[in-house]
Amino acid sequence: MSTISSELLRLTCVGALIALTAIAGAAQGMEAVIKLNAVAEPSAVVTGRLDRDAASVNFSFIDGVAGVPGLAGRMSGLELFGADGRRIDGRVLAPGEILAGERASSFRYVVNLAPIRTNGGMAHVSWASGGTAVMRPYDLLPRVPADRLVRLRIEVPDGWNISTTETRAADGSYLVKNVSRAVFAAGNDLRASVRQVAGTAISVERTGTWLFDEADPITFAAEIASGYSALFGGMPGDAIKVLLIRKEGPPGQWEADTTGRTVTIVSTDMAFKAGSVQRLHEQLRHELFHLWLPNSIELAGDHAWFYEGTALYVSLRSGVLTGRLRFDDLLDTLTRAYSIGKAGSGGGSMSLIELSKNRWAGSDTQVYARGMIAAFMIDLAMLKASKGRSGIESVLKRLFVDRASLSGKDALSVISGALKAGPTAAVWQAFIAGGEPVEIDPFLSSTGLEMRTEGSKRTLAVKPRLTASEKVILDKLGYNAWRKLT
């Protein structure tokens, strides 16, 4: 069984040795085996042993993630054993919460891996279907303290390969330092392409057939990662993996997630090649951004109110700057986001920060729309104040460069400290901390943009007459990049 392409192994062997050195000092909490059965009904048999000081009467499993509920209900046949091998009874206190009659040190159970095809289930939780499986230890294994190492062995059907960014030990097991950030893909049709960007090995592994060219995914991923490296001031790690998994269904349906250093995109194709290429670039622009923010900066507490909208806005602007989108596309998307944000506001409305807390309970569209406008306003405010020299990228770069000292700090305190004073103070209050709908017209002053009214419709547009400073700002947004291509 091959677990990683020889080319990727060659490119990442030095990084693996460094990782092994770091892992050697971590306390082990669990040894586990996930045996995948994808031939008949998709399932996995999970067995494991807890280290002596990790053995407990309490067993806890994740029951929901990213708006996908009922994950603990996929488990059946739980058996618990003591240190001497005796069977121990346990009772369910709540979904995912089991109380054993005494300290249990080993376990066995079965997980149903039939795909959850709603609420983004295939992008966020473990599943197996046909010749492909995506396994996320955080929804397959009992919870262990965050600082505990898990030694994990994965057994797959004959002819299948395993792909992951996790460190592989000499005995074939994987040393998982952070269960919540680990992703494993397995299948009999994983095709890998690898490229180096600034010392980082980028691997794109795909399944199925697509209308875009075979080289497009790795070419786009490398180009986009290079651009984000320049924007943030560095790469997010020594290895990045993109899983591009083809699913069947109507054209244009897709879901995605970025966990740790792995991007997972589960998608149907588009009806025509041009749309297929465009959609692929859009997916990669957005998801690769998350490798830097939030995944590399690791602030504590919810801050989707900042990183989701910022990812949407920066990826949109990147699309214009690289000629993938027209400048009018950027303005149209921002106009729609502004309209959605205003339509969802009203008397007694919540701030963007408060909305983000209910993101998976129906507020996600508002978080994305209002977050995108907030990022746009931050960019404009900083571009105006700096006379076009720097925009939102200066905030992002500062967060990334200082990530070691910021790790674990409260996200709200860190981000508000960067935004609620200086040129972005008014933006912070109006679009992030405040809850009432705000007209953006005053914030567009001296930017070269205006809100244009035609009947009952208001749209974002370029002013007919521009000053020299406004031209500089528009150039930073990509206005002239698109015009040069046309």
**Rounded mean pLDDT, 337-362:** 82
Sign of CA dihedral 335, 340, 344, 349: negative
- 114, 127 Cβ separation under 8 angstroms: yes
CA distance 236 to 426: 31
Is residue 474 situated within a structural domain?
yes
Is residue 69 situated within a structural domain?
yes
Confidence bin at 13 (pLDDT 50/70/90): very low
343 and 432: one domain? Answer: yes
CA distance 112 to 72: 10
Final residue belonging to a domain, choices 172, 188, 204: 188
45 and 151: one domain? Answer: yes
Sort residue 208 into left (φ over 0), alpha (ψ -120 to 50) or beta.
left
183 and 204: one domain? Answer: no
Is residue 1 situated within a structural domain?
no
Final residue belonging to a domain, choices 287, 322, 342: 287
**Rounded mean pLDDT, 338-347:** 76
* pLDDT attached to residue 26: 53
76 and 101: one domain? Answer: yes
242 and 386: one domain? Answer: no
Please write the tens of the pLDDT for every residue from 56-98: 778 899 999 988 999 999 999 999 999 899 999 999 999 999 9
- 340, 278 Cβ separation under 8 angstroms: no
Cβ within 8 Å of residue 76, ≥6 positions away: 109, 110, 112
Burial annotation 50-63 (CB, 10 A radius, 16+ → b, else e):
bbeebbeeebebbb
**Rounded mean pLDDT, 6-10:** 36
126 and 183: one domain? Answer: yes
182 and 193: one domain? Answer: no
Structure tokens at 280: 């692929």
Please write the tens of the pLDDT for every residue from 272-284: 999 999 999 999 9
* pLDDT attached to residue 483: 60
Kindly report the average pLDDT of the chain as a whole number: 90
* pLDDT attached to residue 53: 74
Q: Is the pLDDT of residue 112 over 80?
A: yes
Sign of CA dihedral 369, 371, 376, 377: positive
Work out the angle at residue 457's Cα, subtended by the Cα atoms of residues 451 and 460, and round it to the nearest 5 degrees: 25
CATH number at residue 233: 1.10.390.10
* pLDDT attached to residue 363: 81
- 383, 473 Cβ separation under 8 angstroms: yes
**Rounded mean pLDDT, 106-119:** 92
Structural domain that includes position 264: 189-287
Number of domains composing the chain: 3
CB neighbourhood size of 43 (10 A): 18
Q: Is the pLDDT of residue 177 over 60?
A: yes
Q: Is the model more confident about 377 or about 40?
A: 377
pTM over 0.85: yes
205 and 177: one domain? Answer: no
- 318, 391 Cβ separation under 8 angstroms: no
Helix (H/G/I), strand (E/B), else coil: 445: coil
Can you say how many angstroms the Cα of residue 32 is from the centroid of all Cα atoms in its chain?
26
Is residue 166 situated within a structural domain?
yes
Least confident residue range of 214-218, 252-256, 345-349, 469-473: 345-349
Confidence bin at 482 (pLDDT 50/70/90): low
CATH number at residue 143: 2.60.40.3650
Is residue 128 situated within a structural domain?
yes
Q: What is the 3-state secondary structure (H, E, C) of 325-371?
A: CCHHHHHHHHHHHHHHHHHCCCCCCCCHHHHHHCHHHCCHHHHHHHH
**Rounded mean pLDDT, 289-317:** 97
**Rounded mean pLDDT, 134-139:** 97
Is residue 121 situated within a structural domain?
yes
* pLDDT attached to residue 344: 73
Report the chain's terminal Cα–Cα distance, integer Å.
50
- 168, 187 Cβ separation under 8 angstroms: no
363 and 447: one domain? Answer: yes
Residue 171: CA count within 13 A, CB half-sphere: 8
Q: Is the model more confident about 130 or about 7?
A: 130
Final residue belonging to a domain, choices 230, 260, 287: 287
Q: Can you state the angle between helices 327-343 and 304-321, rounded to 10 degrees?
A: 160
341 and 377: one domain? Answer: yes
Q: Is the pLDDT of residue 399 over 70?
A: yes
Question: Measuring CA to CA, how many Å separate 420 from each of 431, 432, 451?
Answer: 11, 10, 25
283 and 357: one domain? Answer: no
48 and 133: one domain? Answer: yes
Which residues lie across from 480 on neighbouring strands? none
DSSP 8-state secondary structure symbol assigned to residue 26: S
